[in-house]
Amino acid sequence: MIIAIDGPAASGKGTLAKRIADLWGLPCLDTGLLYRAVARDVAARGFRLDDPWAALALARSINAGELCDPELRTPKVGDGASIVARMPMVRGALLAYQRNFSAQPGGAVLDGRDIGTVVCPWADAKIYVTATAEVRAKRRYNEYVCRGEPVVYEAVLADILKRDERDSSRESAPMRAAADADLLDTSELDIEAAFDAAVGLIKRKIGQ
Ligand code: CDP
The DSSP secondary structure of 4-69, one letter per residue, reads EEE-STTSSHHHHHHHHHHHHT--EEETHHHHHHHHHHHHHTT--TT-HHHHHHHHHT--TT----
Is the distance from the beta carbon of residue 80 to the nearest atom of ligand 1 less than 6 Å?
Answer: no
Determine which residue's CA is closest to atom 17 belonging to ligand 1: 82
Collapse the DSSP code of 191 into the 3-class scheme (helix H, G, I; strand E, B; otherwise coil) and give the result: helix
Summary mean pLDDT of the chain: 96
Q: Is the pLDDT of residue 187 over 90?
A: yes
Predicted pLDDT at 163: 93
Q: Distance from the CA of 204 to the center of ligand 1, in angstroms?
A: 27
Q: Is the pLDDT of residue 66 over 90?
A: no
Mean pLDDT of 94-99: 96
Fold of domain 2-206: Rossmann fold (3.40.50)
Structure confidence at residue 150 as a pLDDT band (50, 70, 90): confident
- Percent residues over pLDDT 90 in the chain: 94
- Percent residues over pLDDT 70 in the chain: 100
Q: Under a CB-based contact definition with an 8 Å cutoff, are residues 109 and 28 in contact? A: yes
